[in-house]
Structure 1
Amino acid sequence: MAQQQVDAKAETPPPALGPDGRPARSPREIRLVMIGLVITMLLAMLDNLIVGTAMPTIVGDLGGANHLSWVVTSYTLATAAATPIWGKLGDLYGRKGTFITSIVMFLIGSALAGLSQNMNEMIAFRALQGLGAGGLMVGVMSIMGALVSPRERGKYQGLFAAVMALATIGGPLLGGFITDHFSWHWIFYINIPLGIIALAVVTITLHLEKVKSTARIDYLGAALLTIGITSLVLLTTWGGTQYAWGSKHIIGLAVLAAASLIGFCYVEQRVAEPMLPLSLFRNRDFTVVSIIGFIVGFQMFGGVTFLPQFQQLVQGASATNSGLLLMPMMFGMLVVSLVVGQYVTKTGKYRIFPIIGTVVMGIGSFLLSTLSVSTSSLLTSVFMVVLGAGMGFLMQITMLVAQNSVELKDMGVASSTATLFRTIGGSFGVALFGAIYTNRMTDTLKAHGMVRGSSSDQQLTPASLKKMPALAQDAIHHGVANGIHSVFLWAGLIALVAIAASLFLKGAPLRGAGQKDDNAAMAAAAH
């Protein structure tokens, strides 16, 4: 096993170790670092929330409504492929350098996405943006995990809760406002000044021990994992829409995905520094929260991507108002996440929360599956609060349990793996939900005597919808409502899997707060 070692050029000695093996740091030092981390988290969260509310206008302007899911899928697919690589690079060569590099790549992708002139360019530049985004959340979580013990982490979750609140309120509102009053291009440009601030703060405040490693990067494992993930997402995106499920294209993708992932598992068991150590999954809690995180990604991206379609095209909301109407879901998630974080810090107990969260999330999905053309905005908001509350029980806890299940030296790969499963869940969710939504909407339009796929349909926006004849508007209203119904009905059924998985969680004690378990391993990892 290749050994990591402190850079000989580092002039300052490593800090003394705390009771759980992490370098001891003053509360002021941690708070300063957290400011840099929360700004970066804001950068990542704002992007998804801003783009979600502007999506109907973007698709209508660039054309190609059938490519709606690809604008999101290209981003999440690239994020999923890059996530484990960023995490492993951070463990091997230092988290600060890889973190800063990922921010720069994200900003380049944002600038290019804002310059997009057609759907192909938008999809490509969103993919580049996603490559950088893969390192943002992983960097934030792994650096936080290296600085603060799991038991004490709840004290600092208030900072992350504040970011969630700002993104919840500011993201959809800002995205809708920019789309309505300026141009959707600016929803990408807005990332640039925020990213520059994040870079400055992180560079100045974050001081980690410099490390280097003689280990070789697991390029073959990374390539096989990327091919496997890409094949699976393409399979779910194209299956039943662009190609029949029994076509040679879909069967070929299925075979390629299976072969790549089997090969990946074979390689990871034989390399010195695996990209994703399979030994992590010997820990039952780690496996359980990975499954739950995957399903949370399904719910999160499904809600943000498809609810604005219903609010704008059926309920007649503007882009700004649909952004505001997403707030109940985010608010429910924020409040519950904050309360749960404080409780876990005080008691160290958390096992009941994933069980409650998966149940509430499932209930929220089934409630949203009842949406119809006559559903009021108020009732829609109530249903969204329930879904958001369910996710609030799960968002922080899944990452907390994943990090608590490994030694400090594997903090980056554990964080990236947990993030990877959530990201893949989002990618699969958008792809599958996109196929379900499109098929159900197409069937409804055909039943109303309309043929989906005309040029006017490809340029469908809330503004153009109002110019259509009353019968055409009614058909589209029912088509969108039926599509949303099917999306959330399937989301509720998938949530049942998360409920079953949560019952197998052991609930191992959280490290920290005076506990000294695993000190030797953590001390070795720190040096």
Structure 2
Amino acid sequence: MPLSAARFRALLVALLAVSFLGALDNTVVATSLATVAGELGALEHMSWIVVGYTLASTVLLPVIGRLGDVVGARSVFLASLLLFVAASLACGFARDIAWLIGARVVQGMSSAGLQLLSQTIIARTTTPRQRPKYMAIIGAAFPVAILVGPVLGGVITDTWGWPWVFWVNVPVGIVAFVLAVVAVPHLPGHGERVRFDTAGAVTMTVGLAALVMAATWVGDARLAPSAGVAAIVAVLALAAFGVAESRAAAPIVPLRLFAHRTIAAGSAVSAIVGIGLFSITAYLPTYFQMAYRTSATVSGLVPIATVFGMLVSNLVSGWLVSRTGHYRAFPLIGTALGAAGLLVMSLLPVGLPLWVPTVMMGVVGLGTGAFMSLIVAVVQSAAPEREMGSVTAAVNLVRSVGATIATAVIGGVIGFGVAALLPTGLDPTSLTPAVVHAAPDALQTQVAAIYRGVFSPIFLALAGTYALGIVASVLLPAGRLPDTHVGASPEPSIA
């Protein structure tokens, strides 16, 4: 649906503000977690402030995508934005941990709508050729949020108190809502009075929730039995989901579309972003503090370099593809750069200057950004318009689930690996960078070698993940994105 230049600019500002809100929420909150948990007296439940949000956001993606297709993207987007603002207000007024976690779950549910439907609205209001550029602008919200979120969260917590970490969303959200009401066009749904796929929604939600919980708990010996039960529930629920989708008249996740080469290969490439990079980023500061004996502040330079590389190449690749229409080279080059950077990381000995791994992770970020937002636009261009929301949700879902599971697995490998190799007398539960840095040089060297030995196969495995991404990129059809609006057709729209 073409829009006037002025209206489209207003739409872009509204979508960018909303995407930034959703992306910033977790990074800002992370800094204030210890303060929040301490004031509410629930340190043992602190992780659920984050887990509840991410879990709700992940499992609701296909549901929101299907709702957008049936009801209309505009209506669901505006409702999600209002719900997000209300949940942010409720988070700040929380008086106990149960209240806060409940409000965070609602916030996560509405965040799924903000992120997903921003992409869907862009897809419905631009041509396939224009789409990569604008998708890159919207996608830039995520790396920018990683860069500024922790600092902003710390300043807000120290200056105004932790409730304002949530309350700052309210004025920004209200302004974005007003802009969205004016700028977002009416995008009618295409559900010709079909019944909503309730069986698919329920089985998928249960299956994904159980899968995420199993992956989150597997690294904790105390929760190993619960992780086993959750894994069994996940297998049974996802099997039931497959049966439900094969029989549904209007499935919540149209599995038949994955027979389309572009959609199948593009979804695999999208998963690389979550599995290959998002999963390791959170552990990089710990690795450099222990293996390279840096301070917490200095160790943060490496993820910053990674995210900055991602931001730059995301914007550049989107602009270039919109100019030329040619897209296939970017995921090929990007996955190759990611594989090469992580392979080098697995081989680097400890004791090198910090700029060496910083450059290598910057290369990984550059490679990932080259296809991070672009691949969503490519898959959308191959999808029928009537199922644009569902397909966009599926691409985001594989990325989110991949990141969640890989993050949990990597955390378990690090925890068990380091604990098994530490010399007698060092308690892994109380081992901090400060303790290591105060130890004799010989012990510091030993701990650095242990961390290098544990992380090296992790980097190598992630390099292998990017190598699989190269294969998926090769399978993408060559061609150019058309510069015309495409109709709802299950046939490839990539010319």
Q: TM (normalized to structure 1)?
A: 0.79
Q: Which residue of 2 aligns with 1:470?
A: 439
Aligned residue type for 1:315: T
Look up the SS of the partner of 2:2 in the other structure. Answer: coil
- Secondary structure of 1:393's partner? helix
TM-aligned CA deviation for residue 89 of structure 1? 0.7
State the alpha-carbon separation in 2 of the partners of residues 259 and 240 from structure 1.
22
1:488 aligned onto 2:459 = yes
- Between 1:273-282 and 1:336-345, the stretch displaced more is 336-345
| Structure 2 counterpart SS, 1:503 | helix
1:347 paired residue number: 324
CA deviation after TM superposition for structure 1 residue 205, in Å: 1.9
Indicate which of 179, 184, 188 corresponds to 1:201: 179
Match of 1:452 among 406, 421, 428: 428
Matched AA of 2:209: T
Give the counterpart of 1:234 among 185, 202, 213.
213
Find the residue that maps to 1:410 and give its secondary structure: helix
CA distance in 2, matches of 1:97, 1:230: 26
Q: Could you tell me whether the CA contact under 8 Å between 1:52 and 1:305 is conserved in 2?
A: no
- Displacement of 1:239 in angstroms is 2.9
Partner of 1:271: 248
Which amino acid in 1 is paired with 2:184?
A: L
Partner of 2:311: 334
Cα distance per residue 1:77-100 (max 9 Å; x no partner): 221110111111111112122112
Other-structure match for 1:44: 22
The gaps in structure 2 that reach 5 residues or longer are: 491-495
Instruction: Name the residue aligned to 1:381.
Output: 358
User: How do 1:88-487 and structure 2 match up within 5 A?
Assistant: 88-111=66-89, 125-157=103-135, 159-160=137-138, 163=141, 166-167=144-145, 169-178=147-156, 186-211=164-189, 214-239=193-218, 241-242=220-221, 249-310=226-287, 314-318=293-297, 325-369=302-346, 374=351, 376-445=353-422, 447-453=423-429, 457=430, 465=434, 470=439, 474=444, 484-485=455-456, 487=458
Q: CA RMSD, aligned part only?
A: 3.7
| Cα distance, 1:165–1:452 mapped onto 2, change above 3 Å | closer
Aligned to 1:498: 469
Are the aligned partners of 1:437 and 1:486 in contact in 2 as well (CA < 8 Å)? no
Q: Name the CA distance, whole Å, in 2 between partners of 1:191 and 1:158.
A: 23
Question: Following TM superposition, by how much is the alpha carbon of 1:116 offset from its aligned partner in structure 2, in angstroms?
Answer: 6.8
Note closer, same or farther for the CA distance 1:431–1:75 as it changes in structure 2 (3 Å cut): farther
Percent identical pairs in the alignment equals 31
Partners of 2:89 and 2:373 in 1: CA distance? 30
Q: CA deviation at 1:143?
A: 0.4
SS in 1 for 2:475: coil
Per-residue deviation, residues 225-251 of structure 1 (Å, max 9, x unmatched): 112112222222233533697x6x555
Question: Structure 1 residues 240 and 172 mapped into 2: Cα distance closer, same or farther (>3 Å)?
Answer: closer
Q: Secondary structure at the match of 1:349?
A: coil
C-alpha change, 1:301 and 1:108, in structure 2 (3 Å) is farther
8 Å contact kept, 1:224–1:260: yes
Say how many residue pairs are matched: 485
Distance 1:25 1:182, change over 3 A: closer
- Does structure 2 retain, via aligned residues, the 8 Å contact 1:77–1:424? no
Output the amino acid matched with 2:178: A
Match of 2:3, SS state, is coil
- Counterpart code for 1:334: L
2:62 maps to which of 76, 84, 91? 84
Cα pair 2:48 2:101 within 8 Å, conserved: yes
One-letter amino acid matched to 1:153: R
Shift of residue 407, structure 1, vs aligned partner: 1.4
2:410 counterpart letter in structure 1: F
**Equivalents in 2 of 1:240, 1:481: separation in Å?**
20
Indicate if the aligned counterparts of 2:276 and 2:465 stay in contact, CA closer than 8 A. Answer: no
Q: Deviations over 1:205-237 (max 9, x none)?
A: 222145575222111101111121122222222
Q: Could you report, residue by residue, the CA deviation over 1:421-451 in whole angstroms, capped at 9, with x for unpaired residues?
A: 1111121122112212222232244x25223
Given that residues 421 and 450 in structure 2 are in contact (C-alpha distance below 8 angstroms), is that contact kept between their aligned partners in structure 1? yes
CA shift in 2, pair 1:51/1:380, >3 Å: farther
Larger deviation: 487-496 or 181-190?
181-190
**Structure 1: gaps of 5 or more residues:** 1-22, 523-527
Deviations 1:1-29 (A, max 9, x none): xxxxxxxxxxxxxxxxxxxxxx3322222
For the residues of structure 1 that align with 2:143 and 2:232, how far apart are their CA atoms? 43
Deviation per residue, 1:286-309 (Å, 9 max, x gap): 111112212211234224422243
Residue pair 2:306, 2:361 contacting (<8 A) in 1 also? yes
